[in-house]
């Protein structure tokens, strides 16, 4: 069983990596990119029967800094 966790900075939190990517894309000639938010994707291979609540607990305790990051979970 696999779970995919996507972690992103919350709206309003400064994203210096995203801004650096936006600037670099402009420098490479890719006009029209008005904003970039950079995050991370974590794939977990889990034992059958692992609940989404267990994955949520993993996110809350380790995988995401819930003060400045939000996350979404996809099970399957």
Task: For residue 71, give the nearest of 2, 13, 8 by alpha carbon.
Answer: 8
Give SS3 for 20. helix
At 49, which CATH number?
3.30.1280.10
Give SS3 for 43. strand
- Residue 55: domain span: 2-75
Summarize pLDDT for 54-75 with one digit per residue, the tens: 999 999 999 999 999 999 999 9
Q: Which residue has the tokens 């996350």?
A: 71
Structural domains of the chain, count: 1
Label residue 76 by pLDDT band (50, 70, 90). Answer: confident
Taking the model in full, what pTM does it have? 0.88
Summarize pLDDT for 17-30 with one digit per residue, the tens: 999 999 999 999 99
């Amino acid at each position: 069983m696999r779970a995919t966790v996507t972690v992103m900075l919350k709206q309003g939190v400064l994203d210096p990596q995203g801004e650096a990517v936006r600037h670099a894309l402009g420098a490479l000639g890719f006009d029209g990119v008005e904003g970039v938010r950079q995050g991370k994707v974590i794939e977990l291979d889990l034992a059958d029967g692992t609940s989404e609540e267990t994955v949520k607990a993993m996110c809350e305790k380790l995988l995401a800094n819930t003060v400045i990051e939000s996350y979404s979970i996809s099970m399957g």
